[in-house]
Chains A and B, each alone.
Chain A
Amino acid sequence: MKVEQISIFIENKSGRLAEITRILGEAGVNIRALSLADTSDFGILRLIVNDRETAKQVLKERGFTVSKTAVVAIEVPDRPGGLSEILQTLDNESINVEYMYAFVERCGENAVIIFRFDETEKAIEILTAKGFNVLEGERLYQM
């Protein structure tokens, strides 16, 4: 049920994002979702791509520090309060969201949000039990 995200370390200097997207583009890797966390000195680029292995390989070849991280993709009802229900459920179980970001594509009528939890397995278990739709990685990469 987990989704593999690739995380890339980038320094805060001009042209780094352009460089990464160019490398991925030339390798035929399609970016499905992304988020950028930044500080005054450095940033962490997180990507969901259609081809993780290729993405990781080409970026490593170009000297970037890349790691794979397990995240969870959840369908969120596209209506007021939709996200809140999910977060409330997790909060009740004391599960922390380290970060989250929205997926570009919709899944039917629903939005898709990518979560990084402190306890990934437990979060999946609880959300599934509460009837939330946790998306399979393979499905997501091809959406």
Chain B
Amino acid sequence: MYYNEEFETLPRPALEALQLKRLKTMLERVYSNVPFYKEKFASLGIRPESVKSLEDLRSLPFTVKQDMRDAYPYGLFSSRMEEIVRIHASSGTTGKPTVVGYTKKDIETWSELMARSFVSAGVHRGDIIHNSYGYGLFTGGLGAHYGAEKLGASVIPMSGGNTKRQILIMKDFGSTVLTCTPSYSLFLAEAARDEGLDFRSLSLRVGIFGAEPWSESMRREIEEKLNISAIDIYGLSEIMGPGVAIECQEAKCGLHVWEDHFIPEIINPETCEPVPEGEKGELVITTITKEGIPLVRYRTRDITSISYEPCPCGRTHARIARMSGRSDDMLIIRGVNVFPSQIESILMRIEGVEPHYLLIVDRKGNLDTLEVQVEVDERLFSDEVKHLQEMAHCIEKEIKDLLSLTCKVRLVEPKTITRSEGKAKRVVDNRPKA
């Protein structure tokens, strides 16, 4: 089953010809509309018309998250604000968010690609989609929502949180599709069981899970406990949001990247050279149809591999493997992107000094937990318990405000946190490897 059979099954030569045509148009667009790209191309002696084949893409400069931060908030937009109909943002690495804008056509494209993704997962008109991705600045909620409506399915805009109500509605409304983070699906199933409800007795048939890395064993667990077919979806706000790539129900082996809109590359994150097909490296994406904020060779920092092997589902679009890690220090905790530098800036702000700290990420039951250990030195110490507790609560609150993530701050003795070669280790991730 396809949503857009013509484009999803376009023979490779035609698909690549389309990519090249769209790439050229996009390069012209950013060259004339975005000073950042004009200057960057000029400094490398590149003009849009120097790109004559898809291979020429490799001569173009990368775009990184820092570029978006430097251009905060709208510097990389390629459309006038009059054309922008939606703005999303993800939390930045040091406080300022990364901002993206969508034109009407961008929202159309995104809706179609999410609709394609739903169909690829086995969802159809008549399905009742229980959407537990967060609605708001985060792209997850609205991205899935618009795709569901485009498809013509019934969407319940649940957003995250309030687990009891989620379960009640899922049961009474007869939800057939669940969209959330994979860990939250297991959390829901467990919470339901505690209330005497077996998830397997619900009408749920399909789960579309993303925003955090997960594993094949977790898929088996989810499919068993929820009695559904569990599908992996990938996306990031910089490129679009959810629906950049998705597995097909036929193969459940790799995520098809919608190549008529995005050109994926896999590079060695150290050398920035392309790696051979099937080898692991960092995913780099060029958006070729976006108007609001098209990005040239955006470094996602996600580690994966790519395959151009034909797929049993008939889609001709390349497949990327499950994300197996990051090429930077970003953590994904309960679907929230967390950079250690964000926590560091909060600690700096609260205490005015740079304390030694350690982030401990773990999985208890099915939910990720974050503990922030802070060394209490003489600058932070007080002989009164209440002052130390207030400080710990204040840090917890600031982190919650910035990242919408509940964490536990633990005050520890000095020198508890290991220092290696002068540089402290900032993260211990005890979660089972994906």
Contacts and interface: CB of A to CB of B under 8 A. Distances in A.
B423 interface: no
Nearest to A64: B413
B410 A5 contact: no
B414 interface: yes
A44 B411 CA distance: 12
On chain A, which size bracket covers the interface?
Answer: 20 to 34
Interface stretch (B104-112, B184-192, B380-388): B380-388
B377 interface: yes
B313 to A, nearest CB: 52
B415 interface: yes
Interface in B374-418: 376-378, 381-385, 388-389, 410-416
Nearest to B413: A11
A65 interface: yes
Nearest to A45: B383
A57 interface: no
A65 B383 contact: no
B389 A65 contact: no
Nearest to A38: B385
Q: Is the interface of A mostly helix, strand, loop or mixed?
A: strand
Contacts of A9: 376, 381, 388, 411, 413
Given A9-B413, A10-B413, A11-B416, A66 B378 contact: yes
A39 B385 contact: yes
B429 to A, nearest CB: 21
B387 to A, nearest CB: 10
A65 B377 contact: yes
Contacts of A10: 413
B389 A39 contact: yes
A99 B388 CA distance: 15
Contacts of A11: 411-413, 416
Question: Which of B378, B381, B383, B388 has most chain A Cβ within 10 Å?
Answer: B383
Contact of A65 (B376, B384, B385, B410): B376
A109 interface: no
A7 B378 CA distance: 11
Nearest to A69: B383
Contacts of B384: 44, 98-99, 116
A41 interface: yes
A67 interface: yes
A63 B415 CA distance: 7
B381 A7 contact: yes
B316 to A, nearest CB: 56
A41 B374 CA distance: 12
A37 B381 contact: no
Contacts of A67: 378, 381-383
B413 A7 contact: no
Interface string A5-47: 1010111000000000000000000000000010101101010
A37 B385 CA distance: 7
Given A11-B416, A63-B415, A41 B410 contact: yes
A98 B381 CA distance: 16
B394 to A, nearest CB: 15
A69 B381 CA distance: 11
Interface in A55-73: 63-67, 69
B414 A44 contact: no
A64 B376 CA distance: 9
Contacts of A69: 383
A39 B383 CA distance: 13
| Interface hub of A11, A37, A65, A116 (most chain B Cβ within 10 A) | A65
B388, B412, B413: most-surrounded residue (chain A CB, <10 A): B413
Contacts of B378: 65-67
B388 A65 contact: no
Contacts of A116: 383-384
Nearest to A68: B383
Contacts of B415: 63
B390 to A, nearest CB: 12
A67 B382 CA distance: 8
Contacts of A99: 384
A41 B416 CA distance: 14
Given A9-B376, A65-B378, A69-B383, A42 B416 contact: no
A65 B384 CA distance: 14
Contact of B383 (A5, A41, A63, A64): A5
Nearest to A63: B415
A99 B384 CA distance: 8
17 contacts: A9-B376, A9-B388, A9-B411, A10-B413, A41-B410, A44-B383, A44-B384, A44-B388, A64-B413, A65-B376, A65-B378, A65-B381, A65-B413, A65-B414, A67-B378, A67-B383, A99-B384
Interface of B: 376-378, 381-385, 388-389, 410-416
In the A-B complex, list the 10 residue pairs whose CB atoms are closest, starting with the nearest.
Answer: A7-B383, A69-B383, A63-B415, A65-B381, A9-B376, A37-B385, A42-B411, A11-B413, A9-B381, A67-B381
